[in-house]
Amino acid sequence: MSELWSALVISLRVSLLATLATTLIAVPLAYNLARRRFAGRTVVETLLTLPLVLPPTVVGYLLILFFGVRGPGGWVLSHLFGVRLIFSEAGAVVAATVVSLPLLFLPAKAAFAGVDLELEEVARLMGANRWEIFWHVSLPLARRGIASGLLLAFARALGEFGATVMVLGDISGHRTLPISIYNDFLSGEARAAFPAVILLCITSLLVIWFYNKSSAH
């Protein structure tokens, strides 16, 4: 039981931090890409949504190549900041962020694109700067689409397995709920995974319920 609660705490911590990171990255990008036209815009959007169609293990493999000891990102983090992402909880947060980002980026971009430009122009004529327009006009009007994306991103981060198990590893005391379930199955103790399965199912049902409720209004 202690292993279950440890996995639950780690899963919640990783998914909440990943959702926060996803919000800080996806929402500004969605706003700018919904409003600006520039060379290479399609390439940027393609790269942002690519994790949605790539197998999670491929995402994990690419993260290991980049943030591993011999990777460029790993070298910079290790030599300049003394940080190692691979086989750490921080790495799990990065993996969950990458795979969940498209699920917030796409609805947020659609929500910002649906905001009437005339309202932003009126605010600009009244002296509002770009930040004030974003914070007081665009963001409130796009809040429902963003909220829906946040729920989906959180659910995706909570249920992430493939990329996370490659970056975090399968180490006792450092497992997320999906990794714990997989470990119990491999060890021939499938019944031991039942409580973790129930927890994930209940959480997913609640997220879907809130998502459907927010989308209906």
Q: How do residues 193-215 score in pLDDT, each as one tens digit? A: 888 888 888 888 888 888 777 66
pLDDT at 216: 62
Residues 126-169: tens digit of each pLDDT: 888 888 888 888 999 999 899 989 999 999 999 999 999 999 88
Burial of 176 per CB tally in 10 Å (0-12, 13-18, 19+) = buried
pLDDT at 113 over 60: yes
Q: Tokens representing 179?
A: 């990794």
pLDDT > 90: percent of the chain: 45
pLDDT class of 35 with cuts at 50, 70, 90: confident
Residue pair 200/159 in contact (Cβ under 8 Å)? The answer is yes
pLDDT tens string 72-110: 988 888 888 888 888 889 999 999 999 999 999 999 999
Residue scoring higher pLDDT (91 or 170): 91
Mean of all residue pLDDT scores within the chain:
88
Q: CB–CB of 90/13 below 8 Å? A: no
d(CA 48, CA 70): 24
| CATH code of the domain occupying 2-216 | 1.10.3720.10
Taking the model in full, what pTM does it have? 0.88
Distance CA 132, CA 126 (A): 11
- Whether 27 shows a pLDDT value over 90: the answer reads yes
Burial grade of 73 (CB within 10 A; 0-12, 13-18, 19 or more):
middle
Asked whether the predicted pLDDT for residue 29 surpasses 60, the reply is yes
pLDDT classification of 185: cutoffs 50, 70, 90: confident
Per-state percent for the chain, helix, strand, coil, to nearest 5? 80, 0, 20
